[in-house]
A and B are shown apart, each in its own frame.
Chain A
């Protein structure tokens, strides 16, 4: 008996299989990668906020560190993750509810255009306001 026919192939998540994907497939993969990144950020963010229970000096030392270029680069990556995940999430929700199904690829590119504007504006704001 061929064991391969009985055991489902579950070696790797389906969403990570890049073969023969279209734009919606790549969009879905990126949605999950940004989602995982945002979960990691959420954990770090909650953990760092504990410094607020350790007094004024600890927190103010941290915010001075958080305004240095390496942290701003991480913030820039964070902005990309938030904006992409939010805008693609809007599309996934609408399409999942059966709204705009036939236009979902066009919707993706329109939302990505909006996302690009938001990303440029927020990144510009980040790097200028923390100077």
Chain B
């Protein structure tokens, strides 16, 4: 808990007392690149800012793009789940409730990733 004493305003879950902090930081750094590329490729360089149906299908049909977007999906979901977790842990749950929180968030994250992969696969199959 004393690993980062300079974060005097941060709650305990943030101040190095939680081993998941590093995963949150690493996924956050990865997101800087993954999200920037996602926004540029899907919006900023696209005329009108949004891809048409045919355009989305063609875009996702590219194997590299497909893999990139799936990696983005996984990283952003893990980052989001860990963020929600750290907020919930600040409420000071009992060890039992903490296990429930971990279990529910793991299930939700797995569901979101599975759904996203399925969706991407269905879309690219329409090409």
Mark A residues whose CB is within 8 Å of B: 8, 10, 13-15, 21-22, 24-25, 28, 32, 35-36, 38-39, 42-43, 46, 49-50, 52-53, 55-56, 59-60, 63, 66-67, 82, 86, 89-90, 92-93, 95-98, 101, 104, 125-126, 129-130
Tell me if B54 and A35 are in contact (CB < 8 A): no
Query: In the complex, are the beta carbons of B31 and A86 less than 8 A apart?
Result: yes
Residues of B in contact, count (CB < 8 Å): 42
User: With A46-B116, A63-B50, A130-B49 in contact, do A25 and B6 touch (Cβ < 8 Å)?
Assistant: no
Known contacts A55-B53, A104-B6; 14 further A-B pairs (Cβ under 8 A)? A13-B11, A22-B9, A39-B83, A52-B122, A53-B123, A53-B126, A86-B31, A89-B28, A92-B25, A96-B4, A96-B7, A125-B44, A129-B44, A129-B49
Beta-carbon nearest neighbor of B84 in chain A? A39
CB distance from B56 to the nearest CB of A (A): 6
Q: In the assembled complex, which residues on chain A have CB atoms less than 8 Å from the CB atom of B112? A: 42-43, 46
Q: How far is the CA of A129 from the CA of B44 in the complex (A)?
A: 9
0/1 interface trace, chain B 35-49, chain A, CB 8 Å (1 if under): 100000000100111
CB distance from A79 to the nearest CB of B (A): 9
Report yes or no: A130 in contact with B80, Cβ–Cβ below 8 A: no
B12 to chain A, nearest CB (A): 8
Q: Tell me how far the C-beta of A104 lies from the nearest C-beta in chain B, rounded to whole angstroms.
A: 7
Measured in the bound complex, the distance between the Cα atoms of B90 and A96 in whole Å is 18
- Which B residues are CB-close (under 8 A) to A25? 9
* CB proximity of B88 to chain A, nearest CB, Å: 9
Q: Provide the main secondary structure of the chain B interface.
A: helix
Residue pair A101, B28 in contact (C-beta under 8 Å): no
Partner of A126, one of B16, B49, B56, B123: B49
Instruction: List 8 interface pairs A-B (beta carbons < 8 Å), by A numbering.
Output: A32-B87, A35-B83, A52-B53, A52-B122, A59-B53, A63-B52, A67-B50, A86-B28
Residues of B with C-beta under 8 A to A98: 4
User: How long is the Cα–Cα vector from A67 to B53 in the complex, in angstroms?
Assistant: 15
- The complex places the Cα of A119 from the Cα of B63 at a distance, in Å, of 32
Nearest CB in chain B: distance from A115 CB, A: 13
Asked if B10 is an interface residue, CB under 8 A from chain A, the answer is yes
Do the beta carbons of B50 and A66 come within 8 Å of each other? yes
B25 touches A14 (CB 8 A): no
Question: Does the CB pair A56–B6 fall under 8 Å?
Answer: no
Answer whether residue B115 sits at the interface, using C-beta atoms and an 8 A cutoff: yes
